[in-house]
Every structure is written in structure tokens, then in C-alpha cells.
Amino acid sequence: MKARNFRYIRPSSLEEACRILADGGGDAVPLAGGQSLLAGLNMRLSAPKLLVDIGDLKELTGQTHHDGVVRLGALTRHAELLGSELIQKHVPLLTRAAAHIGHVAIRNRGTLGGSLAYADPAAELPACAVALGATLMLRSVVGEREVRAEDFFTGLFETELKPSELIVAVKFPAIQPGTAVGLAELSRRQGDFALVGLAAVASLQRDRIGTARLAYFGCVDRAKLAPAVSAAVRGLSMPLPDTSAFAQAIRQDLAPEDTAGLRADTKLHMATVLTRRVFNSLSQRATP
């Protein structure tokens, strides 16, 4: 379908962008990679009056690593998560996740900030941000603030973003010795949205799990920590022989719903299987 009519503006600074978004209210939306927004507009799912193109704003770019923190600009493209040596080395979970995001054409344009703002519950990056304990840096005409990823995703496609607020950058803890990261998902075809997925960050002593931060995607309404499963796996040795240690905990943390072609109980079963597989792969990947 062809998108409905709208106006377009390309501000030359972040400050100008924030001002335009504030003036426009709910009728003005930011356009970054456009991979989600424009698909929705082409299907006439929404009707914004003004698109504010922030895709070339320098203030939203950049990758730095300083004092154990990796700061990525909101316009970091998914392709960069795959290709950047800095990210591969210091935030490898993002590199692992990026391989699952869509396809090369989508990854060349889609952005980190866009994925977090859109908050698709089947997307990888919101879950990674939560599992990693990332912090989002937000900006509007009112000022700047920081929100922890685990507080950012509030509901189905809903986030803490105030109207006219933009994600400027995301800060990730750089991976430390003794930590292992894992991500796996079940999807029907390469690049499809996950039916069930899990992003995991765990401290390991030899083969024993210490603390774990887990965030499921695909079978949830939003990215959030899975505290019951994290508690259930603490102290366990890998490889896990079965799922009995955490099967119950999964039911506490996940309350999926039936969707067309996939029932809630199937999602729970898949999540349980996936959890064991992700943990059993961690021990091979802990940094020394």
C-alpha cells in the first residue's frame, strides 16, 4: 500500500529536532532507520502528520569505550553491531543478537535507538539491553535524563519515552572476566521475529552459574528481567541435565498468551527448552 500523506523535515541538530517534536506533539514522529516506522506507514497502521528525519544527526552517532562503559549512539546501525571490533570485543551479546535481526538490507538501515523505542516484544535488542543492565540516555526540550533498560519497557510496544523525547545513546557495561553471554531464539525462518528467545548474561565460576540476568523475547509482552529463573539457576553446574531446576520458575516469569498458530503452553515449552540450551552453551563462552 502507499503511505498516507505527511510532511517531512530534516533538522540539522538534535536541539532543533527536539524542538520540532515538542511543537508537533503527537502528530510529529522521529524517523531514524525507518525499518519499522515506514513499514507501518506503508500498511496505513498509523497517520502521523510530520516525519522528523533524525537519521543524519551527528549527535546520535559514535561508539566509545571508557572506564568499563561502552556508549553507543542511538543511530548505531544493526550492521555495525556485527562489524564493529569494539562491540564484538566489549559487548559481544549485541553482536550475537544482530545476526538474528532481519536481513542484511534491514540491518544496514535499522538502528539501535529505533529498535529500543519501537519495543517490539519479539525483538532481540530490547531484551539484550535489559539483560546487560544497559542505561538509555534520553533528551527532549525539557532536558536530559537516564533510564535503566530494565525500567524502560513498560508494556506492549510501550516505553518510558515521553512524547517528543528521543533516545540519544545507550550505555552498556563492557564485558568483564568471568562473565558469559548467550542468546538464542526459535524462529521459523532466519531473520524472522522470534517465537521464543532468550538473552542471558551470567557470571560463571568454572561451570557454576553465579548471578544471571535473563530477558526473554518473543513470548512476552515486553523485555524485562526473569527473576524467578535467575534465582532458580543460581549455583547450578553446567551442563544442565534437564529442565527440572527452572521449569516451574519459567511459569512464574512468563505468562504468554495464545497467538495465531502458537499456543501459550507451546511457548512455555519452547522457552523451557531454549533456556537449557542457552545455559549449556554459556560454559563454552566465558571470557577468561
Partner 1 sequence: MTDLLGEDELAIEATLNGKPLKRRVKARQHLADFLREELQLTGTHLGCEYGICGACTVMIDGRVARGCLTLAAQISGKSVDTIEGLTESGKLARLQREFIARNAAQCGFCSSGMLLTAYELVRSGRSISRAEIRDFISGNMCRCTGYHAIVDAVEAVIAKNAEKGG
Partner 2 sequence: MLRRVDESPNVDFGERSLVSEKASSSTGVGARIPRRELKRLLSGHGRYIDDIALPRMLHACFVRSPHPHAKIASVDVAAARGAPGVAVVFTAADINPKCEPFVGVALHRPGHRSAPQRLLAEERAVWQGQPVAVVVAESRAEAEDATELVAIEWKPLPAVGDQLQAIAPGAPVIHAELGDNIAFDFSLEKGAPATAFADADIVIEEELRFERQMAMTLETRGLIADFNPAEGSLTVIHAHQSPFQMQEVFSRHLKIPEHKIRVIAPDIGGGFGMKLNLYADEIATVVASMLLGRPVKFCADRLESFVSDSQARDHRIKCRIALNKTGEITAMEMDDISAVGAYGMPLRFNVAEGMMAITLAGAPYKFENYKGRTRSVYVNKNLIGMYRGVGMPLACVATELLTDLAAEKLGLDTVEFKRRNYWPKASLPCVTPGGQKLQNVSFHECLEKLVRLMDYDALRKEQAQLRARGVYRGIGIATFCEQTAYGPPYYGPSGASISTQDGCTLRLEPSGAVRCITSLTDQGQGTLTSVAQIVADSVGVSIEQVSVAGGDSAISPYGGGAWASRGTAIGGEAALRAGLMLKQNILALASAVTQTPADALSIADGEVINTRSGQAVISLADVGRIGYFRQDTLPADFDVQLSVSASFVANDKMYYMANGVQGSYVEVDCETGFTTMLGQWAVDDCGRVINPLLVDEQVRGGIVQGIGAALFEECIFSDDANLLNGTMADYLVPMAAEMPDIVLDHVETPEPSTRLGAKGIGEGGLIGAMGSVWVAVNDALKPLGAKVRHQPFTPERILDALARRE
CA 97 to chain CA centroid, nearest Å:
9
In the list 61, 266, 280, 281, the residue contacting partner 2 (rule: CB under 8 A) is 266
Residue 104 binding: pick among partner 1, partner 2, none (C-beta 5-8 Å cut-off by kind): partner 1
Burial 65-85 (b: 16+ CB within 10 A, else e): beeeebbbbbbbbbbbbbebe
> Smallest distance from the beta carbon of 193 to partner 2, in angstroms?
7
Tell me the residue type at 103.
H
Which residues ranging from 3 to 22 are in contact with partner 2 (CB under 8 A)?
A: 3-5
Contacts 24+ apart (CB under 8 A), 140-148: 140/18, 140/21, 140/22, 140/164, 140/165, 140/166, 141/18, 141/19, 141/21, 141/22, 144/168, 146/171
Task: Based on the shown chain and the rule CB under 8 A, indicate whether residue 195 belongs to the binding site for partner 2.
Answer: yes
Q: Find the part of the chain contacting partner 1 (CB under 8 A) among 49-57, 139-147, 263-271, 277-285.
A: 49-57
Q: How far apart are CA 52 and CA 54, in angstroms?
A: 6
In the list 13, 15, 56, 287, the residue contacting partner 1 (rule: CB under 8 A) is 56
Give the nearer residue to partner 2 in terms of CB position, either 67 or 260.
260
In the list 106, 192, 247, 280, the residue contacting partner 2 (rule: CB under 8 A) is 192
Task: Based on the shown chain and the rule CB under 8 A, indicate whether residue 157 belongs to the binding site for partner 1.
Answer: no
Q: How far apart are CA 109 and CA 277, in angstroms?
A: 31
Residue count, binding to partner 1 (CB under 8 A): 41
List the grid coordinates of 178.
568471568
Cβ partners under 8 Å of residue 243, min gap 6 = 272, 273, 275, 276
> Are the C-beta atoms of residues 230 and 218 closer than 8 Å to each other?
no
Helix (H, G, I), strand (E, B) or coil at 174: coil
In the list 6, 61, 160, 221, the residue contacting partner 1 (rule: CB under 8 A) is 6
Q: Find the part of the chain contacting partner 2 (CB under 8 A) among 29-37, 192-200, 221-229, 278-286.
A: 192-200
Q: How far apart are CA 4 and CA 1, in angstroms?
A: 9
Give the nearer residue to partner 2 in terms of CB position, either 44 or 285.
44
Residue 231 binding: pick among partner 1, partner 2, none (C-beta 5-8 Å cut-off by kind): none
Give burial (CB, 10 Å; 0-12/13-18/19+) of 135: buried
Residue 264 binding: pick among partner 2, partner 1, none (C-beta 5-8 Å cut-off by kind): none
Task: Based on the shown chain and the rule CB under 8 A, indicate whether residue 186 belongs to the binding site for partner 2.
Answer: yes
Q: What are phi and psi of 143, to 5 degrees?
A: 150, -165
Task: Based on the shown chain and the rule CB under 8 A, indicate whether residue 271 belongs to the binding site for partner 2.
Answer: no
Q: How far apart are CA 32 and CA 114, in angstroms?
A: 7
Task: Based on the shown chain and the rule CB under 8 A, indicate whether residue 190 belongs to the binding site for partner 2.
Answer: yes
Q: Provide the pairing of β-strand 143-148 with 158-159.
A: unpaired
Task: Based on the shown chain and the rule CB under 8 A, indicate whether residue 71 belongs to the binding site for partner 2.
Answer: no
Task: Based on the shown chain and the rule CB under 8 A, indicate whether residue 51 belongs to the binding site for partner 2.
Answer: no
Interface with partner 2 (CB under 8 A)? 1-5, 43-44, 186, 188-193, 195, 260-263, 266, 269-270, 273-274
Interface with partner 1 (CB under 8 A)? 1-10, 20, 23-25, 27-28, 31, 34-35, 38-39, 42-43, 49-53, 55-56, 79, 102-106, 108-109, 189-191
